[in-house]
């Protein structure tokens, strides 16, 4: 809990910037992506190779190609989440079309002489992160109000001028003052000695929120690889990323006392955030076959260097039962500023290391005679190593504090994936499993995730079709608001996300 208190202090006092620790996790923690075949085996491709998905996991796997290949992978995703908060819960669903790995692999003809048997290259497009999600929650709170964070913002800033308080904090506190949600306590000279909220948690308030996110990360990759004596495979890829993320969330707090004259009925806070930008990273790896049937893999992914920009807006609406002669009031950031808030910044996510092992049943040069495989991998990264920065202000205290909070909120992770395939002439069956450890240090949040997948494949005379379903069992946590001097509670999110993916292509 201590780390989230620190986060609340920092983010509350600097409301003109929208980056939060959760943004670092969103840009560092990705589910498996790729072709239907790779998803069906849980994404465990580090040591296996021979699939176009190797570009995003271990580019050395492209060196196993001996012929050219064209691949297309349309898909469909859906989510169903339950938010548990205090004494209540709520559900929300979302769905959308998506796409997996698509592109070309070009292989040079095998050489009979010399150690280097062949070289392979790939150009691919893929959706490496999907941000489409939706969750909701509600519950009764008798200990604190969402509006108290605006009080803390002004108190921490030492703001005694009520006129400044009404104009200089356009991303929350000023809106709350101008809609009478919070009021200043004035001395004889008109200075603010403190602030108080019109909300009444002592008699109980209903708190509820709906959060809807859309967008994703699209990646264009260029990979090259080499085959040394059919024993050692080396490869690397350059990956260009394009990001689009939108979050719309509405928090509502309502009076549960039943009183009609206590100057509080409800208020809502609507937050809009749009993040866009680009990123660049490198991936390199090797696959080694010490003996037939066994493949060992290692890949290293550099941090992705992102250039990002945010547009954000907050709107507060209040119904205070005629307080101060007013009815329903509404004000937004754009009303005060004449435009949305905007900010440009950079982010670097952590290094990632993957190691893998594969056992190929009947490993021979003629892949049509292979009977299947078992493959597994382990992934290492530290989510606490993500770093934000301002290119125009390298010594920004805000980002230094934010990066300290990230390192205190998130921890090392060990993620594991395993899968296999059995081949029956032209038909294949596949299954996979993935375990993604909890990224949070906070004991109140369990962010463990599991994936279970399965699929079928058909291959004949250079043509192939693969169909896969992956189910994500999700546990996560979320704080709708954080306070320094009072109680605040987490939302525990439980749910599932499904991904149906079809891959088809041909060799040429």
User: What would the pLDDT profile of 55-82 be if each residue is shown by its tens digit?
Assistant: 999 999 999 998 999 999 999 988 888 8
Return d(Cα 469, Cα 184) in angstroms, integer: 56
Helix (H, G, I), strand (E, B) or coil at 26: helix
Whether the predicted pLDDT of 504 surpasses 80:
yes
Cβ atoms of 309 and 277 within 8 Å: the answer is yes
User: What residues have CB less than 8 Å from 483, skipping those under 6 apart?
Assistant: 5, 8, 144, 148, 149, 152
Return d(Cα 115, Cα 230) in angstroms, integer: 9
pLDDT at 33: 86
Whether the predicted pLDDT of 16 surpasses 70:
no
pLDDT at 450: 94
Distances (CA, A) of 327 to 116, 133, 254, 324: 79, 35, 16, 9
Domains of the chain by start residue, with CATH: 2-147+198-507 (2.40.160.60)
In the Cβ-directed half-sphere of 59, how many Cα atoms lie within 13 Å? Answer: 24
Token pair 């893998």: residue: 356
Closest-CA residue to 201 (of 152, 254, 251): 254
Helix (H, G, I), strand (E, B) or coil at 236: strand
Closest-CA residue to 130 (of 51, 206, 229, 26): 26
Closest-CA residue to 253 (of 186, 181, 184): 181
Token pair for 372: 């299947």
- Annotate 89-99 with b (16+ C-beta within 10 A) or e (fewer): bbebebeeebb
Write the DSSP assignment of 418-459 as a string of letters. EEEEEEETTEEEEEEEEEE---B--TT----EEEEEEEEEEE
Could you report the per-residue pLDDT of 372-405, keeping only the tens digit for each?
999 999 999 999 999 999 988 877 788 888 899 8
User: Binning pLDDT at 50, 70 and 90, where does residue 367 land?
Assistant: low
Could you report the per-residue pLDDT of 142-184, keeping only the tens digit for each?
999 999 999 999 998 999 999 999 999 999 999 999 999 999 9
Question: How far from chain centre, in Å, is Cα 250?
Answer: 20
Could you report the per-residue pLDDT of 197-256, keeping only the tens digit for each?
999 898 899 999 999 999 999 999 999 999 999 999 999 999 999 999 999 999 999 999
Q: Classify residue 462 by its DSSP letter.
A: T
Write the DSSP assignment of 115-176 as a string of letters. SEEEEEEEEEEEEEEE--EEEEEEEEESS--TTHHHHHHHHHTT---HHHHTTS-TTTHHHH
Look up the pTM and report it. Answer: 0.85
pLDDT at 363: 61
**CA max distance for the chain:** 95
Return d(Cα 180, Cα 203) in angstroms, integer: 20
| End-to-end Cα distance, the chain | 57
- Three-point CA angle 86, 87, 90, nearest 5°: 90
Whether the predicted pLDDT of 10 surpasses 60:
no
pLDDT at 394: 79
Closest-CA residue to 71 (of 98, 48, 99, 108): 99
The number of beta carbons lying within 10 Å of the beta carbon of residue 420 is 21
CA dihedral angle for residue 178, residue 183, residue 185, residue 191, rounded to 10 degrees: -10
Least confident of 103-107, 288-292, 361-365: 361-365
87-95: average pLDDT: 81
Query: What is the crossing angle of helices 397-409 and 2-13, to 10°?
Result: 160
Token pair for 97: 């079309």
- Three-point CA angle 376, 377, 378, nearest 5°: 145
């Amino acid at each position: 809990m201590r780390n989230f208190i620190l986060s609340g202090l920092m983010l509350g006092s600097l409301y003109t910037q929208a980056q939060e620790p959760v943004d670092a996790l969103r840009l560092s923690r990705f589910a498996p992506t790729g072709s239907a075949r790779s998803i069906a085996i849980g994404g465990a491709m580090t040591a296996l190779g021979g699939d176009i998905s190797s570009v995003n996991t271990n580019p050395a796997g492209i060196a196993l190609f001996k012929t050219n290949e064209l691949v297309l992978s349309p898909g469909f995703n859906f989510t169903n989440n339950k938010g548990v908060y205090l004494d209540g819960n709520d559900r929300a669903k979302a769905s959308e079309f998506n796409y997996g790995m698509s592109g070309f692999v070009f292989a040079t003809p095998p050489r009979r002489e010399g150690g280097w048997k062949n070289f392979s290259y790939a150009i691919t497009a893929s959706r490496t992160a999907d941000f489409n999600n939706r969750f909701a929650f509600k519950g009764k709170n008798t200990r604190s109000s969402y509006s108290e964070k605006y009080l803390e913002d002004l108190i921490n800033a030492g703001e005694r001028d009520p006129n400044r308080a009404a104009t200089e904090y356009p991303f929350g506190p000023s809106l709350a003052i101008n809609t009478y949600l919070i009021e200043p306590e004035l001395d004889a000279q008109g200075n603010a000695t403190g602030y108080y909220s019109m909300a009444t948690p002592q008699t109980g308030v209903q708190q509820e929120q709906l959060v809807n996110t859309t967008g994703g990360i699209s990646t264009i990759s260029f990979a090259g690889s080499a085959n040394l004596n059919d024993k050692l495979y080396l490869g690397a890829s350059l990956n260009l990323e394009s990001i689009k993320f939108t979050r719309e969330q509405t928090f509502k707090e309502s009076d549960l006392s039943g009183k009609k004259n206590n100057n509080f009925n409800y208020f809502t806070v609507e937050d809009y955030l749009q993040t866009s930008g680009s990123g660049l990273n490198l991936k390199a790896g090797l696959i080694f076959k010490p003996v037939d049937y066994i493949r060992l893999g290692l890949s290293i992914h550099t941090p992705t260097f992102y250039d990002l920009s945010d547009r954000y807006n907050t709107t507060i609406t209040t119904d205070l039962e005629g307080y101060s002669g007013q009815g329903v009031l509404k004000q937004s950031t754009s009303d005060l500023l004449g435009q949305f808030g905007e900010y440009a910044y950079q982010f670097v996510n952590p290094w990632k290391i993957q190691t893998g092992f594969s056992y190929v049943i009947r490993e021979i040069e003629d892949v049509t005679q292979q009977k299947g495989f078992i493959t597994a991998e382990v992934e290492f990264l530290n989510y606490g190593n993500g770093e934000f920065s301002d290119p125009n202000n390298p010594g920004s205290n805000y980002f230094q504090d934010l990066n300290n909070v990230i390192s205190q909120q998130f921890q090392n992770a060990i993620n594991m994936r395993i899968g296999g395939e059995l081949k029956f002439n032209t038909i294949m069956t596949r299954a996979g499993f993935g375990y993604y450890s909890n990224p949070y240090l906070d004991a109140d949040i369990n962010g463990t995730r599991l994936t279970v997948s399965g699929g079928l494949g058909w291959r004949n005379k250079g043509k192939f079709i693969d169909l896969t379903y992956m189910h994500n069992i999700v546990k996560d946590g979320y704080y709708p608001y954080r306070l320094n001097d009072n109680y605040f509670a987490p939302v525990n999110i439980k749910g599932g996300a499904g991904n149906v993916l079809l891959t088809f292509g041909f060799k040429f």
